[in-house]
Amino acid sequence: MAQEIRTLQGLEALRRRPRMYGRPEGPLVDQVIEAATCLGLKAILGGCAKRMWLSLPTPWTLEVEHRGRFPDLLGPTRLDFGRHGAGPDLALAESALIVLWACKHAIGTQEVCEISLPLATALSETCEIQVRLDGQSHVAACTGGLLTRRLSPAEHTTLSDDGVRLKFHLDRSFFDHAADDDAMARALNRVTSRTRILAWAPAGDHRWRLESRVDPGLLTSIREQIREGMPLLTLRDTLADHRDGGMRQDEAMALLEWLRVDVGPQHEDTVLDLMDLVCGFCTPKWALWPRPPVRDTDEA
Strand boundaries in the chain, DSSP class E: 51-58, 61-67, 124-133, 136-143, 146-154, 163-170, 198-202, 207-212
Residue 291 lies in a domain: no
**Position 71 confidence tier, pLDDT thresholds 50, 70, 90:** low
Distance CA 218, CA 224 (A): 10
Residue 14 belongs to some domain of the structure: yes
Asked, for residue 122, whether it belongs to a domain, the answer is: yes
In a domain? residue 63:
yes
User: Is 297 a domain residue?
Assistant: no
Q: What are the backbone dihedrals phi and psi of residue 13, each rounded to the nearest 5 degrees, phi first?
A: -60, -40
**Claim to verify: residue 182 and residue 82 sit in the same structural domain:** yes
193 and 73 within one domain = yes
Residues 137 and 199 in one domain: yes
pLDDT, one tens digit per residue, over 75-124 is 433 333 333 333 333 333 334 433 344 444 344 445 666 777 778 888 99
C-alpha to C-alpha distance for 256 and 237, rounded to whole angstroms? 15
Q: Do 157 and 57 belong together in one domain? A: yes
Helix ranges (DSSP H) in 25-116: 28-36, 38-45, 92-95, 97-105
Residue range(s) defining the domain that contains residue 237: 216-286
Picking from 180, 212, 244, the residue at the C-terminal end of a domain is 212
Q: What is the pLDDT of residues 193-248, one digit of tens each?
A: 888 899 999 999 999 999 999 998 899 899 999 999 999 999 999 999 999 999 99
Q: Out of 190, 212, 234, pick the residue that ends a domain.
A: 212
Phi, psi (degrees; rounded to nearest 5) at 176 = -75, -30
Identify whether 300 is part of a domain: no
Domain count, the chain: 2
What is the side-by-side strand order in the sheet with 207-212? 146-154, 136-143, 124-133, 163-170, 61-67, 51-58, 207-212, 198-202
- Asked if the structure places residue 41 within a domain, the reply is yes
